[in-house]
A and B are shown apart, each in its own frame.
Chain A
Amino acid sequence: MKKIFYSIFLFITVVSSSCSDQFLDVPVQGGPTTSSDPKLAERLVTGVYNSMLQGDSWGNGDVHGFAFLTVTSIISDDADKGSTAGDQQIPVGDIDNFTLTPSNRFAETLWSGHYKAIGAANKALEALETASISEEEKNKLKGEVRFLRGYFYFNLVRMYGGVPLVLRVPRDAADANSDLAFQTRATEEQVYTSIKSDLTFAYENLKVKSQSLVGHANKGAAGALLAKVHMYLKEWQPAFDLTKEIIESNQYQLVEDYATIWRQAGDNSSESIFEIQTGEFNNANLNINNYTTAQGVRVGGKGGWDDLGWGFNNPSTSLIAAYEPDDLRKNATIIFVDNSGEHHGTILWDGFRIPSSDSVQNLYYNYKAYASNSKENYADPGTKDLPKNIKILRYAEVLLINAEAGLELGQGDPTARVNEVRERAGLDDLGSVDIDDVWQERRIEFAMEHDRFWDLVRQGRAAEVMQAAGKNFVAGKHERLPIPISQILLSGNKLKQNDQY
C-alpha cells in the first residue's frame, strides 16, 4: 500500500513539473489570426466596404449615420434639426445653430469612424501585398480599396480641412506614437494630393460598370469622384475631361422617374455610379444604424399612430421655396404633412398614410430617406431602422460637374447638360445657363442628398447663404468642424485646432 502511494506522488511530481510550457500554450479559441485565414485579403476588402456602414453616432464611430446626416444636411440651409425642440439639442442642435464646441460628440465620432474606415483600408492594402492572387485581381482589389480610402479622405478634408494623413498600418501603439503622421495635420493640399493619387490609381485599374460586379467600386465611380475632387479644387480641365469620358463611355443614363431613385427598385439603377449598399445578412437587416429612424416621420400633438422614427432632418421652407413651379422633384424629395385642416393625411407612394399635422411633430420630411414596410423587402421588417441605400454619386452629378467645368472653361455644352437634368424633372429647357443656374440646379437635383453644405463652402458663399438663413455662422470658422478636443489633448497639442474654435 505504502509503495503505491509513494509511486503516485512521485509520478505526480514528475508529470506536473515537466510539460508546463506546452500546457500554457493555449491559443485563442474561436479567434482566427492573420495567419490562420487563407482568404483574409479578399475578406478584408469587403470589410472596408463594411466600414462605410458605421453609424454609432454617440459612440465609437460614424461614417454615414446620424452624425453624417447632421453635418451634411441638418447643418445646411436646406434642412432644420426637426424632432422636438429639446431633442438632441446637444450635439445636433449645436451643429445646426453653429454653437458647437470641440467636444461635440458627433464631430468626434465622425473623425473616429472615418479613421476606422481608413485603418481598414490600410490593413486590406497591406494584406493584398502578400496575398496569393493574380496580379490583375490584386490591382483590381487595390483599386477598390484606394477608391474607398480616397472617398473617406475626401469626406474628412471637407469636414475638417487638412487632417492627419495616415496611409499605413502601425505595428503597435509605440510605432504610432512615434510617427507624427498619426497626430499632426497634413495640409489640405497634401490630403488632396493623396486623394487624387488614390482615385487615379482606382481609375486606371478598375473596369467600367458593365464589366464590374454590382455594388463594387468601378472605373466610372473612380472617375466621377475624381472629377468632383477636381471641381472642389477648381481644377476645371481634368474635371471636364473626366466627366466627358464618363458621359461618352455610355455606361450611364438618367432614370425616367426621379422619385424611384430612392426606392429599393431604384437601387443600382442605370443612373447609379456609387452608392452605399444595404440589405441583409444573417437573416437580419444590414443597414446604417439609425439612418432611416433618425429621419422617420415623428408622432406629435394628439399622437395616436405608430410613427416612423425620430423626426430629424426636416426639409426647410427655404428649400421648398427654391423649387420652380411644377418641378417633379419637389414631391419626390419632400413629404408634405397635411396641414390643410381637412385631415386627409398624406398618402405615400406605397399607400402608407401619414396622419395630418395635428398628430405629427413637424410639417416636412425627407422622402429620400423613406423606406416602405409594405412594398419593399427586408429581412426584418419589424424595425423602424430599415436598410436604405445612400446614393453617393449619380449620373446627374456627372452632367452637372461637366456643365460647371464647361462653363468655367468655355468648353462643351453646359446648357445641354443642365437641360438634360431639367427635362427629367418635367421643367422647360433653359436657353442658356450661367454659374448661378448650375448651382441652383445642383441644389434642387441633390436636395437632401448630403451635398448642399459642402457645395456652399466650395462655392465660397457658405457664410452669405447661412447668415441669410438666420444661422449663427461665422465666416472663416464654421466652414469646418472642430477637431475633437480629446484628440488634441491626446496629442499633447501637437494636433492643432481649426481657426477660432
Chain B
Amino acid sequence: MTIFHAHSQSRRITGSVKDGQDGSPIPGANVVVQGTSKGTTTDLDGNFAIDLSDTESVLNFSFVGYKTSTVEVGDRTVVDVTLEADITMLADVVVVGYGIQKKTDITGATASVKGEELSKQPVLTATQAMQGKVAGVQIISSGQPGTSPQVRIRGLSTALGGTTTLFVVDGVLTDDISNINTADIVSMDVLKDASSAAIYGSRGANGVIIITTRQGKAGAFKINYNNNIGIRQASNLVEMANAEEYRNYVQAATGEIVPQSDYDTDWYDTILRTALQQSHNISLSGGTDKSTFLINAGYLEDEGIVIGNEFKRLTLRLNSDYKINDKVTLGLQSSYGSSENQNGFNNIDIDAFGNIGAVYNNAYRASPTIASKVGGRYGNTSAFQNVGNPLLDVSNNRVKVLENRLQGSSFLEVKPTSWLSLRTSIGADWKNSLNRVYAYEFRADENTFLIAGGNQLNPLSRLNVKQIQSFRWVWDNTATITKSFDKHAFTLLIGTTAEKYKQHWISALRKDVPPDENLWYINVGDANTSQNDGKGEAWSRNSYLARLNYAFDEKYLLTATIRTDGSSRLPGKNRWQQYPSFGVGWIASREAFMLDQNIFDLLKLRASYGKVGNDQVPTDAYTSIVTLNTPYAFNGSVSPATNGAQLKQLIDPNLTWESTTEYDVALEFEMLNSRLSGEVNYYNKKVDNALIKVPIFNTIGDDDNAIITNVASIQNKGVEVVLNWKGEINTKLSYTIGANATFNKNEVVALNGGQAIWGGSVGAAQGFTTYTDNGQPVGSFYVLKVLGVFNTDAEVNAYVNDEGEKIQPTAKPGTFKYLDKNGDGTIDDSDRVFAGSYQPKAYFGLNLGVNYKNWDFALSIYGNVGNEVYNGKKGVRIDGKDNIERDMVYNRWTSGSRSQTEPAANTGNLLASDYFIESGSFARINNLTIGYTLRPTLLERVRINSLRVFVMSQNLLTYKKYSGFTAELPGDPTNSGIELSAYPTTRTISAGVNISF
C-alpha cells in the first residue's frame, strides 16, 4: 500500500547544516528521517536534499562532536539547521593514561583544563597558563623569557633533584614541554594522586600531566588565525637610593666621603626596557569521515625586559588520522619546534662567562654616583667599588641557545570486535640544541670606560659552543576490553611499555675570535687556545601495566591498577618494583532514595590508595666512576701537564626507588540544576626511601662530602576545595565563577639516621640559609633570630649569658642583637632557629568569566599565603660602597630613631638572620581579558565565519608584602624561595584577533 502511494505523496525538503558557533557549513552530516533508516548526508557546502512521504515529518541531524538536533518539518520545504558542539561530551571525559574515562566514573583525583582556557594567555609554556586553575597544582614561575615554570603537585615529594612532573604529550613521555604551542592543546589532564598516577608507576611521584593535542574534525576545510601583540614591562622594582641618599648612607656606614658626582644613575632604568611580545597562530584543518588532519603553525616572540634578551619560537604541527576500515585506524601526531633564546641568563648549560647572570646583582649593588654610559663609554663602577657596570654586563657577552625539536607519535588501533581494542604506538622525541657564548674583548682602559681601571675586562675574546643531542623513544602496546552485562560494566586494560633515552654533548672553545657575528665559528679562533669536552648519558625503562575499571549499576565504582617497572637507573637487585593502586567510588545521587530530592544533581564519594615511585637519580649514582683529567704539571710551565685520575665519589651500591604512598578521599557534588558544582579532597601522601644527599665525614675524602642514598621520609597532607558556579541571568548575560584553594602541609617526618641538610647558600657572610630537618618542611629557613638593635654601649655590655659573659662584645650601638639560643655566650651557627618555609600553607585561584551579548570578559587571580622568602639580595651586600634600598636610608637605626628593626648604616656582611626573611604571601591578577565577537551577518560579505577582537593584561596587578622584586622564586627543594638574581615579574598589555574562515 505504501508503495502504491509513495510517489504521488512525497515532497522534497532542502536545506543546510551549519556549525552553531562559527556558522561554517558541516559537510557529511547525517540527515535521517526519524523512525526509519532512510537518510542522506550533506554535501561539501553543508547542503542536503531529501524526499519525505506525507507520514514522515521529523528529521534527525547528527554529526560527530555535535549534539543531535531533531526538527519538526511541518509545512516547510526548506530546513536550515545549526548544530551545537557537544561540549558536555568532551567535558565529561578525562584522559587517564593509556585510555580515557568518564569523569563521573573516576575514583582518583584528576583535573582537566581545556585548551581554550590555556591558549587565551600569551605564555610560552602551557603550565604557566594553568596557574590558579587547578587545585593541588602549584605553578611557580620565574617569568624569564624562554623558561618553563616549576610544577609542584600536592607539595614537595622529594628533597633531591628529581622534582619534575611527568608530561605525556600524545603518549610521549617528557619533562619539558616548552616546545609545545599552547594553541595546539585540546586538554591538559592532571593526575594528582598516587592512585591515578600509579599507571605511570615510577614516573608518577611528582604527578602526571597528560597533554592531548588538537585533531582535525571531519567537515569543511577551516582556517583559523589568532594573534596577540603587546608590550611587557617590569611590574615591580625595588626603589634604590639615589646619589645623594647613597652618599649620606655610605658616609654614615664607612666614614668615607663619596665624592660629589654629576650623575644620579638608576641602574634598573638603564638595563630594563619596555619589551614587545607577540604571537601568531594559523591553523588549517578538515577531513572526511575516513580521515582528518590539522596543521598549525605558530610563532611567538618575547623580547624580554632586559636589554639584549630575546626569545623566539616557531612551532609546526601536523596531526592526522585515517580509518582503513571500521576496525583499523592509523594516526600521527607530530610537532616541530625551533626556538632561539638570546642572552637569557638562566640555565645556560655551558661554561658561561657569567656576566649576564651577574647583571641583576650588579644593578642592585652599583653606586648611583657612577654614570652608566656617556658618549659611548661606560661608567667605571668596578674601579670605584668592585662591582661590574650592569649595562656593560648585558653588552659584553652574547649568549644564544638554539633548540630544534621533533616530537611525535604514531599509532595503529585495531578493534576486532566491539569489546576489544588493540593499540600499539611508537613515540619519538629528538632534540638538538646549540648553545653559543661569545665574550667580547674589551679592556679596562679609556676606550671602554670614562676612566681606566677596575677589574671589569676581558682581554681576549672567547667563543664557546656546545651541542647537545638527545633522542628518546617510547613504545606502548595496550589491549582494552570493554564489556557490560546486566548491571555490570568492566573495562580492563593490559599493556607493556618500553622506553630508551640517549644523549650526547660536545663542546668547544677558542679564543681570539673577531667580533663580527658572521665569524663566530670555532675555525676562526686561535687553535692554540682550543679546549673541548663531551659526554653522554643513556638509560632505559621497561614496564608492564594493568588496570581494571568496574562499575555496578552505574553507582558503585572500583578501579584497580598495577604497574611493574624496571629501570636501568638503579642497580640490578633493586631494579624491578610494583606499583599497585585501588580506588572506590559511590555515586549516591543515583541511589533510589536520592531520586526524589532536587538539591543534588550529583553526589559522589570516592576514596583511593596508591603507590608510585621516583627513580630520578643521576645515571651514575650507583657506579663508581673514574674522574679523568685531574692533571699535574710535573715540569711546571716547561711542558704541558700529565693527565691523572681520581675516584672522587663514594657511592651507595644499594640505591633504590623513592616510593610514595597516598590516600585520597573526596566528595564531589553538583547542585541547583548543576549550576553549582564542587569538590572537596583530602590527601595524605608519604614518601619513603626519599633520596637525599647525606653528608658523610669529610675524612672519607668524597668530592662533595655527601652520598646519595635512600633515607628520608617526607609527608604532604592537604585539603583541596573547588567550587564552580554557572549563572545565566538571561539569554544575553551569563557568567561563571570558579574558585579553588589548596592547603598543604609538608614535613620531613623522619631522616631515619640520615643527616639534616644545609642548603640555600647565599654567599658572603651568610653561608647557608635553609635546613632540612626532622619535623620541619623541606628547605625550611634556619637563621639567627634578631632580638632588636643595640641602642647604647650599656645595652651591649648588659647582654650577657648566664655566666655573665658578654655575648656580642664587639657590637656597637646600631648593630643587631641576636638570640644566643644555646646560651654559650657567642653567636654562631648553633644559635640558628627555624624561621618558616618557602612552601605556602595555602594557594588559591579565582576565575571569573562573563558573557554579555557579544562581549566576553575573563579574570583570573592567583595567590598564595603562609610562605616566607629570603631577601638574599640584601644579604650579599658585602661592601660599604654597595648601594642600598631607599627604605634602608630612611628607616635605619640612628641614635635618634632607635629603630629596633633596621640596623644602623653598615658595610654589609650581616649574618644570616630572620631580618632577611619576609612574608612571601601574594595575590595577583594573572589575566584580565575583554573580547568582542562581531556578528556573523557583518562578516558574511568578507567570507569570514567569525571574528573576535580582544585586549588583555597578563599580571596586571600584584599585591604582596615582600619588599623585593618577586615572591615567586623557583628552585630545587633545599634552595627555593631565595631571591638572589631573580627576574622581576613582568606585566603585559596586549591585544589581538581570532579569525575563522
Chain A 273-305 interface mask (CB, 8 Å, partner B; 1/0):
001011111111010000000000001000111
Give chain B interface residues in 433-465, CB to chain A under 8 Å.
443-445, 451-455, 457-460
Point out the residue from B498, B632, B880, B909 that lies within 8 Å of A50, measured CB to CB: B632
Q: Is the CB of B700 within 8 A of A84?
A: no
Task: List the B side residues contacting A378 at CB < 8 Å.
Answer: 637
Task: List the A side residues contacting B695 at CB < 8 Å.
Answer: 486, 490
Q: A26-B540, A116-B703 are in contact. Are A306 and B453 (CB under 8 A)?
A: yes
Does residue A45 face the partner (Cβ distance < 8 Å to B)? yes
List the B residue with the shortest CB-CB distance to A118: B701
Chain B 611-635 interface mask (CB, 8 Å, partner A; 1/0):
0000000011001111111111111
Task: List the B side residues contacting A490 at CB < 8 Å.
Answer: 695-697, 755
Does residue B511 face the partner (Cβ distance < 8 Å to A)? yes
Tell me, in angstroms, the Cα distance from A175 to B380 when the chains sit together.
56
Q: A8-B424, A24-B567, A279-B633 are in contact. Are A306 and B641 (CB under 8 A)?
A: no
Does residue A25 face the partner (Cβ distance < 8 Å to B)? yes
Measured CB to CB, the closest approach of chain B to A386, in angstroms, equals 10
Which of B's residues lie within 8 Å of A, judged by CB? 254, 325, 327-328, 380, 383-384, 412, 414, 416, 422, 424, 443-445, 451-455, 457-460, 475, 477, 479, 496, 498, 500, 502, 504, 511, 528-531, 534-542, 544, 566-568, 575, 619-620, 623-647, 650-653, 694-705, 707, 709, 755, 758, 763, 765, 767, 810, 826, 828-830, 878-880, 907-909
Q: Is the CB of A307 within 8 A of B879?
A: no
Q: Is the CB of A183 within 8 A of B531?
A: no
Chosen A-B contacts, 24 in total, with CB atoms closer than 8 Å, are A20-B542, A43-B626, A43-B644, A48-B644, A60-B703, A87-B878, A101-B826, A101-B828, A112-B698, A119-B701, A123-B647, A170-B700, A176-B650, A176-B696, A215-B636, A268-B635, A278-B637, A279-B633, A279-B638, A281-B641, A306-B452, A484-B698, A485-B829, A491-B697
Of A30-38, A316-324, A327-335, which stretch is located at the interface?
A30-38
Does residue A172 face the partner (Cβ distance < 8 Å to B)? yes
Q: Is the CB of B637 within 8 A of A487?
A: no
Tell me, in angstroms, the Cα distance from A264 to B459 when the chains sit together.
22
Give chain A interface residues in 124-141, CB to chain B under 8 Å.
none
Which of A's residues lie within 8 Å of B, judged by CB? 1-2, 5-6, 8-9, 12-13, 16-17, 20-21, 23-34, 37, 40, 43-53, 58, 60, 84, 86-87, 89-90, 99, 101-103, 105, 108, 111-112, 115-120, 122-123, 164, 166, 170, 172-173, 176-177, 182-183, 213-216, 264, 267-268, 275, 277-284, 286, 299, 303-307, 359, 376-382, 384, 387, 389, 484-487, 490-491
Point out the residue from A31, A32, A103, A389 that lies within 8 Å of B636, measured CB to CB: A389
Tell me, in angstroms, the Cα distance from A39 to B477 when the chains sit together.
46
List the B residue with the shortest CB-CB distance to A275: B636
Q: Is the CB of A382 within 8 A of B542?
A: no
Q: Is the CB of B640 within 8 A of A280?
A: yes
Q: Is the CB of A28 within 8 A of B453?
A: no
Point out the residue from A31, A166, A173, A216 that lies within 8 Å of B634, measured CB to CB: A216
Point out the residue from B624, B627, B755, B767 that lies within 8 Å of A105, measured CB to CB: B767
Measured CB to CB, the closest approach of chain A to B883, in angstroms, equals 15
Task: List the A side residues contacting B755 at CB < 8 Å.
Answer: 490
Measured CB to CB, the closest approach of chain B to A160, in angstroms, equals 12
Task: List the B side residues contacting A170 at CB < 8 Å.
Answer: 650, 700
Q: Is the CB of A305 within 8 A of B694?
A: no
Task: List the B side residues contacting A382 at CB < 8 Å.
Answer: 458-460, 511
Q: Is the CB of A47 within 8 A of B454?
A: no
Q: Is the CB of A283 within 8 A of B529?
A: yes
Measured CB to CB, the closest approach of chain B to A104, in angstroms, equals 10
List the A residue with the shortest CB-CB distance to B826: A101
Q: Is the CB of B880 within 8 A of A86?
A: yes
Task: List the A side residues contacting B528 at CB < 8 Å.
Answer: 283
Tell me, in angstroms, the Cα distance from A40 to B644 when the chains sit together.
9
Measured CB to CB, the closest approach of chain A to B286, in angstroms, equals 28
Q: A43-B644, A304-B451 are in contact. Are A5 and B328 (CB under 8 A)?
A: yes
Tell me, in angstroms, the Cα distance from A87 to B882 when the chains sit together.
12
Task: List the B side residues contacting A117 at CB < 8 Å.
Answer: 701
Task: List the A side residues contacting B830 at CB < 8 Å.
Answer: 485
Q: Is the CB of B637 within 8 A of A280?
A: yes
Task: List the B side residues contacting A86 at CB < 8 Å.
Answer: 254, 878-880, 907-909
Q: Is the CB of B647 within 8 A of A34?
A: yes
Q: Is the CB of B625 within 8 A of A23?
A: no
Q: A5-B414, A30-B536, A105-B767 are in contact. Are A376 and B698 (CB under 8 A)?
A: no
List the A residue with the shortest CB-CB distance to B414: A5
Q: Is the CB of A305 within 8 A of B453?
A: yes
Q: Is the CB of B623 within 8 A of A31?
A: yes
Q: Is the CB of A47 within 8 A of B697?
A: no
Task: List the A side residues contacting B705 at CB < 8 Å.
Answer: 60, 112
Task: List the B side residues contacting A102 at CB < 8 Å.
Answer: 828
Point out the residue from B477, B502, B651 that lies within 8 Å of A172, measured CB to CB: B651
List the B residue with the shortest CB-CB distance to A89: B909
Point out the residue from B568, B644, B878 that lies within 8 Å of A25, measured CB to CB: B568
Q: Is the CB of A33 within 8 A of B644?
A: no
Measured CB to CB, the closest approach of chain A to B619, in angstroms, equals 6
Task: List the A side residues contacting B544 at CB < 8 Å.
Answer: 17
* 6 further A-B pairs in the complex, CB-CB below 8 A; given A99-B810, A173-B696, A176-B650: A43-B628, A173-B707, A176-B697, A286-B633, A306-B453, A484-B698
Q: Is the CB of A283 within 8 A of B879?
A: no
Q: Is the CB of A12 within 8 A of B568?
A: no
Q: A23-B498, A90-B765 are in contact. Are A303 and B628 (CB under 8 A)?
A: no
Q: A123-B647, A172-B651, A303-B384 are in contact. Are A280 and B641 (CB under 8 A)?
A: yes
Measured CB to CB, the closest approach of chain B to A380, in angstroms, equals 7
Tell me, in angstroms, the Cα distance from A267 to B767 when the chains sit together.
38
Task: List the B side residues contacting A281 at CB < 8 Å.
Answer: 629, 631, 633, 640-641, 643
Measured CB to CB, the closest approach of chain A to B203, in angstroms, equals 15
Tell me, in angstroms, the Cα distance from A423 to B650 when the chains sit together.
53
Measured CB to CB, the closest approach of chain A to B397, in angstroms, equals 15
Point out the residue from A105, A166, A214 that lies within 8 Å of B635, measured CB to CB: A214
Instruction: Name which of B475, B628, B632, B641 has the most chain A CB atoms within 10 A of its CB.
Output: B632
Task: List the A side residues contacting B567 at CB < 8 Å.
Answer: 24
Task: List the A side residues contacting B625 at CB < 8 Å.
Answer: 28, 31-33
Q: A90-B909, A183-B697, A280-B641 are in contact. Are A28 and B630 (CB under 8 A)?
A: no
Tell me, in angstroms, the Cα distance from A120 to B648 when the chains sit together.
8
Measured CB to CB, the closest approach of chain A to B615, in angstroms, equals 11
Nearest 7 interchain pairs by C-beta: A119-B701, A46-B644, A279-B633, A215-B634, A29-B536, A43-B645, A49-B632
Measured CB to CB, the closest approach of chain A to B64, in angstroms, equals 24
Q: Is the CB of B626 within 8 A of A37?
A: yes
Measured CB to CB, the closest approach of chain B to A367, in angstroms, equals 19
List the A residue with the shortest CB-CB distance to B633: A279
Tell me, in angstroms, the Cα distance from A27 to B566 when the chains sit together.
15
List the A residue with the shortest CB-CB distance to B634: A215
Task: List the B side residues contacting A376 at CB < 8 Å.
Answer: 637
List the A residue with the shortest CB-CB distance to B908: A86
Q: Is the CB of A306 within 8 A of B636?
A: no
Measured CB to CB, the closest approach of chain A to B907, in angstroms, equals 4
Task: List the B side residues contacting A24 at CB < 8 Å.
Answer: 540-542, 566-568, 575
Task: List the A side residues contacting B536 at CB < 8 Å.
Answer: 29-30
Q: Is the CB of B568 within 8 A of A166?
A: no
Task: List the A side residues contacting B646 at CB < 8 Å.
Answer: 44, 47, 50-51, 120, 123
Q: Is the CB of B637 within 8 A of A215?
A: no
Point out the residue from B327, B475, B539, B624 that lies within 8 Å of A34, measured CB to CB: B624
Q: Is the CB of B701 within 8 A of A384?
A: no
Task: List the A side residues contacting B479 at CB < 8 Å.
Answer: 9
Task: List the A side residues contacting B698 at CB < 8 Å.
Answer: 108, 111-112, 115-116, 484, 487
Instruction: Name which of A13, A31, A103, A376 has the most chain B CB atoms within 10 A of its CB.
Output: A31
Tell me, in angstroms, the Cα distance from A216 to B635 when the chains sit together.
9
Q: A24-B567, A33-B623, A46-B644 are in contact. Are A13 and B630 (CB under 8 A)?
A: no
Tell me, in angstroms, the Cα distance from A157 to B172 when the chains sit together.
58
